Amino acid sequence: MAATGGFVEADNAEAIITRIEHKSRKIESLLKQLKPVEALKTALEGSPPMTRDERCKSANWIVVHRALMAIKDVDGMLSSLDPEYHDILMKYLYRGLSTGDRPTCDQCLRIHEKLTEKAGLGCILRSLADTVNTV
């Protein structure tokens, strides 16, 4: 699909944030049901990459972060995650690693190792090379 460069404007950002809040509630309920893998999938789904609004990106990051920290079985999570989510997960892992927060970095590094084994260096390349769709 060719990128159209249609970036979301500020007024649409409100709609995105509402969607993210809705997603957040769904994720909390999934985590209570001890389904961290579904929670992460929900968090990664519909990530708003085509927006320059930092609030949308931060809001989605908080939601993804919550789901990431709840993952205990990394191998299990990766085996049930669709390959189409590998690239977006790698981007969020790098965002997590850049926070400098010890528990976040530990978790992100743990997942990074397994994800690289699974998806290869190409996945890292795609998350680094893509300066247009950032998370």
Partner 1 sequence: MAAIAVHKFAQCITCHAWSPDLSMVAFCPNSNEVHIYKLLQDKWEKVHVLQKHDQIVSGIDWSARSNRIVTASHDRNSYVWNLEGSEWVPTLVILRLNRAALCVQWSPKENKFAVGSGAKTVCVCYYEQENNWWVSKLIRKRHDSSVTGVAWHPNNIFLATTSTDGKCRVFSTFIKGVDTKDSRTGPTSDSKFGEQIVQLDLSFSWAFGVKWSPSGNTLAYVGHNSMIYFVDDVGPSPLAQNVAFRDLPLRDVLFVSERMAIGVGFDCSPMVFAADDRGIWSFIRFLGERKVTSSGSTYGSQFSEAFGKLYGGQTKHGVSHDAVEPSRSRGGIHENCIKYLLYSAA
In the chain, the amino acid numbered 126 is R
Least distance CB 3 / partner 1 (angstroms): 5
Least distance CB 16 / partner 1 (angstroms): 21
Please say which residue, 17 or 74, places its beta carbon nearer to partner 1. 74
SS3 8: strand
Distance separating alpha carbons of residues 133 and 34, to the nearest angstrom: 31
Region of residue 71 (left: phi > 0; alpha: psi -120 to 50; beta: else): beta
Q: Residue 62 has which token pair?
A: 């908080």
Please say which residue, 34 or 121, places its beta carbon nearer to partner 1. 121
Please say which residue, 58 or 116, places its beta carbon nearer to partner 1. 116
Least distance CB 113 / partner 1 (angstroms): 5
Rg (C-alpha) for the chain, rounded Å, is 14
Please say which residue, 101 or 113, places its beta carbon nearer to partner 1. 113
Least distance CB 52 / partner 1 (angstroms): 15
Other Cβ atoms within 10 Å of 105 Cβ, number: 16
- Interface residues toward partner 1, by CB under 8 A: 1-3, 5, 87, 109, 113, 116-117, 119-123, 125-126, 129-133
